[in-house]
Amino acid sequence: MRRLRGYGSLVAVVVIAAGALLYTLVAGNKPLLGLDLQGGVSVVLKPKEAVDNATIDQAIAIIRQRIDALGVAEPEITRQGDNILIQIPGVKDKDRALDLVGQTAEMQFRPVLANIAVDPTATTTTTTTAAPTDQTTIAGETTTTTVASTTTTTAALVGGLPEGVCRTGLDAEQINKDGQAILPQCKSGVLVASYSVGPTALTGSSLDTARATLGDNGWTVNPVFKDGADGIGAFNSVAATCYAKATTCPTGQLAIVLDGRVLSAPMINQASFQADLIEISGNFTEREAKDLATALKYGALPVEFEMQQAQIVSATLGRDALHAGLIAGLVGLIAVALYMIAFYRVLGGLAVLKLAIEGALLWSVISWLGTNNGLALTLAGITGIIVSIGVSLDSNVVYYEHLKEDIVNGRSIRSATDHSFVSAFSTIVKADVASLIGAALLWWLTVGPVRGFAFYLGLSTALDLLTSWAYMRPVVRLATRSRLVGRSSLLGLPPEKVQERSRRERSTEGASR
Amino acid sequence: MSWLTRLNRGETRIDFIKWWRRGLILSAVLIVISLGSLFTRGLNLGIDFKGGVSYEVSMSNPSVSAARTALDGVGEGQAKIQIVGTDILRVQTAESTPEHTAEVRQTLGQVAGTDASNVSVSSVGASWGGDITRSAIRALIFFFIAILIYLSIRLELRMAIAAIVAVLHDVLISVGVYSVFQFEVTPGTVIAFLTILGYSIYDTIVVDDKIKENERLVGLSGRMTYSQMTSLSMNQVLLRSLNTTVVSLLPVISLLVVGAGIMGAVTLEEFSIALTVGLTVGAYSSIFVAAPVLVFLKERQAKFRAIRERLASQGVAVDRPAPVPSASDEDTPDAANAATEVSSARTATGVIPPRPRKKTRKR
């Protein structure tokens, strides 16, 4: 039993590595490729003025909503200091994504001049957008506009709205905030109504907050305006004109517009309102009510951003970069493996095995993080991993050289294995910790691709520490005590000095174990 | 014994004291060239630091003139056009509006005979580069402080200082190389330089550990000065240092030659040039900068100065490699005998059991 002590960690680490790899394969985990390897869009937005954390978080939530509307899976939106980094890998319509992200939307309240019915029988002659899968009738707000009928294709509209307008949106000129415009109302990317609206009467900045509440008659939305002339005062003045069905507001409806789309166009039923007693009702489902409340609450981006950096990476270039990185890594790996084996023979082979174990663990961690945490592997990350091949083998070199030195000084191979590990490991720990400090600082203090690199370097260094202790010591011991390969020539070690050796064995046999 | 065998056993007899002088002269020359180039030619900053727009498209027979003619048509005749690798056309212009960017993209798509969506675009506001630089410098300063503290605790203050001097030397020369050859500086370059820091410290630690092991030789029988002991340590650790360098360099060179050269991945080129230069300089500096600086600092210490003076007055040659007691001959040190056979200083042989002192010191 004594002979097996110390090999426990070796078995454990090999089992864990193999198990992790197996799990990764079975679970279908794969690393998430970063933008520069997959292609996509990346944008850095910087607020034009100083803002607090809550504002930035709000902005992130809104941007996320917008990007979700694009239908891309998992955009990555993160904060870096005061900047917002948005990465949308794999998006097909890159220019649109870029546009969408940067827009500072404004929420506008505009009087409705006319409702334009959608003609379901009119069809387009060119390609249409894909139909939504749910085709239920959407009950409109009965107190407000005309009921929208279902449409399964985009219909050519009276009023000249471009095709596929719910997908592409309108530009600032078409939205025409200070004049008249024709704006669509979209539900789930499908056009349900369009309105001719007048100039903007007030904006989202007049709103304080909004709620969705469940009352006796179903779900309603309660916007709360701010006090004062800019808030409830402005609302009341436009409400008055609409209630009276004045020429500026002949339909009596007030459209709530965001990003050039009409969210809702309720009829005004009173001449004036109190700030917190406004209710928008209709046959809202819970989802619709909550969505509208959220839009009212967060609708406009709370602060204006400027685009600091924008990148559109084409998928082909990304793929090429990935291939090159992988092949270069492989070639480097082979070159360095050959070198180690040539120099250290069997011990060199064991060093390469250590790399394999670290590789398995690294791959599993990256795949798991990629699938579950959205951590992306970029080219910088791949470089970090390739550099860590050197880090791992360095630990082996330090140990083996120590071994050689001890043997040249007269120790037997067996006693040298344990003795030199102690001082070699001390060196390895010092150096790896220094690396880890560097990686941690880099990660904490920098922005952009440097962070990815720091993470992967730090991860590989930590794995190196683990495997040096758990794998390298027991496996070398195994090798030196093995009858098969325990000879110095096979191990790449200098020959033992025989006379000293026997003297040494006799006097220190007990101590060396 | 052949030189290679001696190297293998850590028993080479290189007179590092002499070589340090030469090394320091070389380093001084390189630093002067680097500084000179930095102040006159400066660095070739990529758009991430200067701001602007960069376009990249892969094209079967890239032609700069065809691109320039086409770009002239959209008012970008002055753009910087280059062919990277074998089949990538890269164009850099000043900052522009999104519409103009789309226009240029369209044009380049036509030149390359492909869809505009295959043209990669990267547009950077000028202040972004400033942010990256600032954060990198901040990280650098924190790194130096952290390493100084860590190494002072684990090794000693003078070794920490010598290590940092070596790292500064590495960064300066690496940046100088970039300036002289006007390689483009991108965020990838910054990453690579920061890696070099880590590596340089690693190599210096490997060397310093050996010096610390041998330090008792200076005090014990007072047979050699600190400089001589360090020179001896260098000889013993030479192979270790060389091998760790080779093993770190091989993957990086593969990145450079295979990744960037043969396969033409441009971003890899940015990293790998900086890494190759930095790793090489880093290996050099551990032996030829960190060690002599340490020696310089240590010899100033009263204790070591006294030993040096004592030995000099005894007639021992203090500026040449020291004679060392051979491994099997602990009880009767014989200076004349040992002068012809410099073997390892460690005296762990049959007559002495393992030194427990060393273990507790390391822990």
Q: Which residues of B touch A395 (CB under 8 A)?
A: none
Residue B165 and residue B159: Cα distance in Å, rounded?
10
DSSP sequence for A391-427: HHHHHHHHHHHHHHHHHHTT--HHHHHHHHHHHHHHH
> Is A426 in CB contact (< 8 Å) with chain B?
yes
Considering only the beta carbons, identify the residue of B143, B248, B348 that sits closest to A410.
B348
Q: What is the pLDDT of residue B227?
A: 81
Whether residue A125 is predicted with pLDDT greater than 90 in this model: the reply is no
Whether residue A401 is predicted with pLDDT greater than 90 in this model: the reply is no
Q: Number of A:B CB contacts under 8 A?
A: 278
- For A43, the token pair is 């944008």
Please state the rounded mean pLDDT for residues A385-400.
86
* b/e sequence A152-174, b meaning 16+ C-beta within 10 Å: ebbbbbeeebebbbbbebbeeee
- Which residue's entry shows tokens 């924190």? B142
- For B197, the token pair is 């820091």
- For A115, the token pair is 């409702």
Residue A431 and residue A428: Cα distance in Å, rounded?
5
Query: Nearest Cα to A376, choosing from A23, A68, A90, A80?
Result: A90
Mutate to test the interface with A, among B243, B269, B326, B349 (most CBs of A within 10 A): B243
Considering only the beta carbons, identify the residue of A404, A427, A450 that sits closest to B205.
A427
* Nearest-Cα residue of chain B relative to residue A419: B354
Test A438 with B197 for CB contact under 8 angstroms. Answer: yes
Cα-Cα-Cα-Cα torsion B216, B219, B224, B229, nearest 10 degrees, comes to 30
What is the H or E stretch that residue B256 is in? none
Beta-strand runs (E) in B46-155: 52-58, 80-84, 88-93, 120-124
Test A310 with B118 for CB contact under 8 angstroms. Answer: no
- Which residue's entry shows tokens 């002659």? A125
Considering only the beta carbons, identify the residue of A324, A340, A433 that sits closest to B264.
A324
What is the H or E stretch that residue A186 is in? strand A181-187
Q: What is the pLDDT of residue B329?
A: 35
Q: What is the pLDDT of residue A1?
A: 46
Radius of gyration of chain A (CA): 34
* Nearest-Cα residue of chain A relative to residue B260: A324
Residue A182 and residue A198: Cα distance in Å, rounded?
9
Test B122 with A379 for CB contact under 8 angstroms. Answer: no
Least confident of A184-198, B221-235, B331-345: B331-345
Which tops the pLDDT comparison, B20 or A4? B20
Q: Which residues of A touch B191 (CB under 8 A)?
A: 380, 383, 449-450, 453
- Which one-letter DSSP state was computed for residue A221? E
Mean residue pLDDT across chain B:
76
CA angle B161, B165, B167 (to 5 degrees): 115
* b/e sequence B311-337, b meaning 16+ C-beta within 10 Å: beeeebebeebbbbbbbeeeeeeeeee
Test B246 with A339 for CB contact under 8 angstroms. Answer: yes
Q: What is the pLDDT of residue B241?
A: 82
Q: Compute how many other C-beta atoms are within 10 angstroms of the C-beta atom of residue B125.
A: 18
Which tops the pLDDT comparison, B338 or B304? B304
Whether residue A506 is predicted with pLDDT greater than 80 in this model: the reply is no
Mean residue pLDDT across chain A:
74
Residue A395 and residue A475: Cα distance in Å, rounded?
14
Look at residue A274 and give its three-state secondary structure: coil
Q: What is the pLDDT of residue A321?
A: 76
Considering only the beta carbons, identify the residue of B213, B255, B265 that sits closest to A386.
B255
Test B344 with A409 for CB contact under 8 angstroms. Answer: yes
Test B191 with A383 for CB contact under 8 angstroms. Answer: yes
Look at residue A156 and give its three-state secondary structure: coil
Whether residue A134 is predicted with pLDDT greater than 70 in this model: the reply is no
User: Closest approach of chain A CAs to the CA of B129, in angstroms?
Assistant: 9
Q: Which residues of B touch A397 (CB under 8 A)?
A: 240, 243-244, 247
Which of A 394-423 lie inside 8 A of B, CB atoms? Answer: 394, 397-398, 401, 404-406, 408-411, 419, 422-423
Taking CA atoms, A333 is separated from A340, A390, B255, in Å, by 11, 9, 10
> Is A436 in CB contact (< 8 Å) with chain B?
no
Q: Is B113 left (phi over 0), alpha (psi -120 to 50) or beta?
A: left
Residue B106 and residue B120: Cα distance in Å, rounded?
11
Longest dimension (CA), chain B: 89
Test B187 with A433 for CB contact under 8 angstroms. Answer: no
Whether residue B350 is predicted with pLDDT greater than 50 in this model: the reply is no
Question: Model pTM?
Answer: 0.67
- For A109, the token pair is 């309240």
Q: Which residues of B touch A377 (CB under 8 A)?
A: none
- Give residue A123's pLDDT band: very low, low, confident or very high (50, 70, 90): very low
* Nearest-Cα residue of chain A relative to residue B207: A427
Residue A279 and residue A292: Cα distance in Å, rounded?
12
- Residues B64-108: tens digit of each pLDDT: 788 888 888 887 777 777 776 667 788 888 877 777 887 888 888
Mutate to test the interface with B, among A306, A334, A427 (most CBs of B within 10 A): A427
Q: What is the pLDDT of residue B264?
A: 64
Least confident of A439-453, A499-513, B249-263, B310-324: A499-513
Please state the rounded mean pLDDT for residues A327-343.
89
Most confident listed range (B164-168, B329-333, B347-351): B164-168
Query: Nearest Cα to B100, choosing from B73, B82, B127?
Result: B73
- For A28, the token pair is 């279908």
Whether residue A96 is predicted with pLDDT greater than 80 in this model: the reply is no
Beta-strand runs (E) in A5-68: 32-33, 40-47
Percent of chain B whose predicted confidence (pLDDT) is above 70:
80
Mutate to test the interface with A, among B8, B240, B241 (most CBs of A within 10 A): B240
> Is A70 in CB contact (< 8 Å) with chain B?
no
Assess contact for B288 and B280: CB atoms under 8 A. no
Please state the rounded mean pLDDT for residues B225-234.
82
Residue B119 and residue B107: Cα distance in Å, rounded?
10
Please state the rounded mean pLDDT for residues A412-418.
82
Residues 6+ apart with CB under 8 A from A390: A336, B199, B244, B247, B248, B249, B250, B251, B252
Q: Which residues of B touch A441 (CB under 8 A)?
A: 139, 142-143, 146
Residue A464 and residue B295: Cα distance in Å, rounded?
32
- Residues A272-308: tens digit of each pLDDT: 787 777 888 777 787 777 777 767 776 556 666 777 7
Test B146 with A393 for CB contact under 8 angstroms. Answer: no
Q: Which residues of A touch B98 (CB under 8 A)?
A: 98-99
Mutate to test the interface with A, among B271, B326, B355 (most CBs of A within 10 A): B271
- Give residue A512's pLDDT band: very low, low, confident or very high (50, 70, 90): very low
- Residues B197-227: tens digit of each pLDDT: 777 888 888 888 888 888 877 765 667 778 8
Test A390 with B249 for CB contact under 8 angstroms. Answer: yes
Whether residue A71 is predicted with pLDDT greater than 70 in this model: the reply is no
Percent of chain A whose predicted confidence (pLDDT) is above 90:
3
Q: What is the pLDDT of residue A339?
A: 92
- Residues A18-57: tens digit of each pLDDT: 888 888 888 877 787 777 777 778 888 887 777 777 777 7
Whether residue B136 is predicted with pLDDT greater than 80 in this model: the reply is no
Test A397 with B240 for CB contact under 8 angstroms. Answer: yes
- Give residue A328's pLDDT band: very low, low, confident or very high (50, 70, 90): confident
Q: Which residues of A touch B118 (CB under 8 A)?
A: 314, 316-317
Percent of chain A whose predicted confidence (pLDDT) is above 70:
74
- Give residue A481's pLDDT band: very low, low, confident or very high (50, 70, 90): confident
- Which one-letter DSSP state was computed for residue B314? T
Residues 6+ apart with CB under 8 A from A475: A10, A350, A353, A354
Which tops the pLDDT comparison, B259 or A470? A470
Report ipTM (2 d.p.).
Answer: 0.74
Q: Which residues of B touch A317 (CB under 8 A)?
A: 56-58, 88, 118, 120
Q: Which residues of B touch A508 (CB under 8 A)?
A: 353-354
Residues 6+ apart with CB under 8 A from A148: A118, A138, A140, A185, A187, A192, A193
Most confident listed range (A100-109, A126-135, A275-284, A321-330): A321-330
- For B133, the token pair is 């630089």
Pairing of β A40-47 and β A305-313: antiparallel
- For A99, the token pair is 């546009």
What is the H or E stretch that residue A313 is in? strand A305-313
DSSP sequence for A231-259: IIIHHHHHHHHHHTT-TTSTT-BEEEEET
DSSP sequence for A109-140: EEEEEEEE---TT---SS--PPPPS-----PP
> Is A86 in CB contact (< 8 Å) with chain B?
no
Please state the rounded mean pLDDT for residues A240-266.
83
- Residues A138-148: tens digit of each pLDDT: 233 323 332 23
Which of A 24-53 lie inside 8 A of B, CB atoms? Answer: 36, 44, 46
User: Closest approach of chain A CAs to the CA of B70, in angstroms?
Assistant: 21
Residues 6+ apart with CB under 8 A from A112: A145, A195, A196, A197, A198, A249, A251, A253, A254, A255, A265
Test B252 with A331 for CB contact under 8 angstroms. Answer: no
Taking CA atoms, B218 is separated from A171, A252, A441, B90, B237, in Å, by 80, 98, 37, 60, 18
Q: What is the pLDDT of residue B202?
A: 82
Test A324 with B197 for CB contact under 8 angstroms. Answer: no
Least confident of A54-58, A153-157, A508-512: A153-157
